[in-house]
């Protein structure tokens, strides 16, 4: 199991056992997200749904439907344009840092490779500190991600955009027959920038 998968599993199973969360406990959004560089690949727009600040609820696949979100503090996912608008940088917090300032966290850097027509991505986190090499590309109309290093052949994830303020990352694993099956969903809800003045 990779470090990121360990984080997500722990998040889905246990991190929601905290006390009741009130909206004012969330860390304020950064709101200054930058902009794409004029020479950036046009495919940068494929991951532009990550730009912003999002609360994340975790849902386990129960065979026919997703579990309801567990009560308690949400996770946090923040994205912005990095390297002067040539990349997308996004942070993960297992629990919103406004609720738990010491929560485990990690960061992705995503850059589109025009020669290979796919995304090159690097992930590193505070626990384990192992850099992971990932790829993504559009497959069957969905932005689909897989891991190159360390090898993780039984993992893939798809990103589903619901609307301007909601998206989901759906993780899959392979069953005993080698078929892809849903495992967990991270459901994102945008935090409005007008919270920044609170």
Q: Where are the domains of the chain?
A: 3-16+35-197
Question: Is there a contact between 156 and 148 (Cβ–Cβ < 8 Å)?
Answer: no
- C-alpha to C-alpha distances, 166 to 26, 51, 53, 104, nearest whole angstrom: 18, 12, 11, 23
pLDDT in tens, 10-33: 554 444 444 344 466 899 999 999
Give every residue of the chain whose pLDDT is below 70, as ranges.
Answer: 1-24, 195-198
* pLDDT the model gives residue 116: 96
For the segment 129-160, what is each residue's pLDDT rounded down to a tens digit? 899 999 999 999 999 999 999 999 999 999 99
Tell me the C-alpha to C-alpha distance, in Å, between residue 41 and each of 47, 85, 114, 120, 131. Answer: 12, 10, 7, 13, 24
pLDDT at site 75: 95
Q: Which CATH architecture group holds 3-16+35-197?
A: Beta Barrel (2.40)
Q: With H, G, I as helix, E, B as strand and everything else as coil, classify residue 11.
A: helix
Task: Give the pLDDT score at 185.
Answer: 97
> What's residue 20's pLDDT?
41
Please report the pLDDT score of residue 3 as a whole number. Answer: 55
**Rounded distance between C-alpha atoms, residue 163 and residue 113, angstroms:** 26
> Is there a contact between 107 and 93 (Cβ–Cβ < 8 Å)?
no
């Amino acid at each position: 199991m990779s470090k990121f998968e360990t984080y997500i599993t722990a998040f889905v199973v246990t991190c929601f056992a905290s006390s009741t969360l009130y909206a004012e406990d969330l860390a304020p959004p950064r709101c200054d997200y930058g902009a794409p560089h004029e020479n950036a690949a046009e495919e940068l727009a494929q991951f532009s749904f990550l730009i912003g600040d999002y609360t994340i609820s975790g849902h386990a696949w129960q065979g026919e439907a997703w579990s309801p979100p567990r009560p308690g503090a949400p996770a946090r996912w923040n994205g912005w344009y990095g390297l002067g608008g040539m990349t997308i940088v996004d942070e993960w917090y297992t629990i919103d840092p406004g609720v738990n300032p010491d929560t485990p966290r990690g960061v992705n850097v995503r850059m589109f490779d025009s020669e290979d027509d796919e995304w090159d991505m690097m992930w590193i986190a505070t626990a384990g500190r192992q850099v992971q090499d990932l790829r993504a590309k559009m497959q069957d109309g969905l932005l689909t991600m897989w891991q190159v290093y360390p090898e993780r052949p039984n993992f893939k994830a798809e990103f589903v955009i619901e609307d301007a303020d909601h998206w989901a990352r759906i993780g899959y694993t392979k069953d005993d027959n080698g078929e892809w099956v849903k495992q967990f969903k991270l459901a994102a809800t945008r935090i409005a920038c007008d919270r920044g003045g609170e």
